[in-house]
Chains A and B, each alone.
Chain A
Amino acid sequence: EVQLVQSGAEVKKPGESLRISCKGSGYSFTSYWITWVRQMPGKGLEWMGRIDPSDSDTNYSPSFQGHVTISVDKSINIAYLQWNSLKASDTAMYYCARRSSTSFWTFAYWGQGTLVTVSS
């Protein structure tokens, strides 16, 4: 069974750094890109970027480029989303997702989400 299990909720202060994780299991981790999606409180889904675990090639939405870093440790089947300096506006639920086995173009598997709260 394909599973994406994300790290737990975080409470941070503005300016602090943070790394959240997404562990894939039940499939060949390096065969499927991992995508990160933000959902601010009461708002819609936003595509942040994606990483190819086989070679760490990444793409970022222009809205997130330079503010977050997506990385992966393929030896332990984990993808990461990292901030060096959090802002209050980073408060959101963050999901990782993986494409379908039959279609490159849809996100069939989702993590349970990681709630990040940034407050002084």
Chain B
Amino acid sequence: QSALTQPPSASGPPGQSVTISCTGTSSDIGGYNYVSWYQQHPGKAPKHMIYEVSKRPSGVPDRFSGSKSGNTASLTVSGLQADDEADYYCSSYAGSNNWVFGGGTKLTVL
């Protein structure tokens, strides 16, 4: 299985919105509504921010939202804040008890 495709970088000024895409295939993103998004600050373990495409775990601000169309999933961060600056990874179930991650996107708050 190949890694999901994410843009290497994204950016936006405080208060604005930014959307990060994650493209897979019909064997992963397109085949299941099991996309997750993770936030990773430098030197820290990943933190799950979105699961099952658009659900937010408790404690995650509603500024974070997820969606999917076909083989592409998206994470939108609204009202950008300085602490949102981090690496973001998508992940999808890929069938037969396998998962796949995206290559990661570095989000910079300008």
Contact = CB atoms under 8 A, between A and B. Distances in A.
Interface of A: 35, 37, 43-47, 50, 59, 61-62, 95, 97, 100, 103, 105-108, 110-113
A62 B97 CA distance: 12
Contact of A47 (B32, B45, B101): B101
B69 interface: no
B52 A45 contact: no
Given A47-B91, A105-B34, A105-B36, A100 B51 contact: yes
B38 interface: yes
Contact of A35 (B34, B99, B102): B99
B51 A45 contact: no
Interface string B31-72: 010101010100001111001100101000000000000000
Given A45-B38, A110-B46, A61 B98 contact: yes
A107 B48 contact: yes
Interface string B1-22: 1010000000000000000000
A110 B36 contact: no
Contacts, number: 69
A108 B48 contact: yes
B98 A47 contact: yes
A59 B96 contact: yes
A45 B1 contact: no
A68 B31 CA distance: 28
A106 B48 contact: yes
B89 A45 contact: yes
A106 B38 CA distance: 9
Contacts of A43: 104
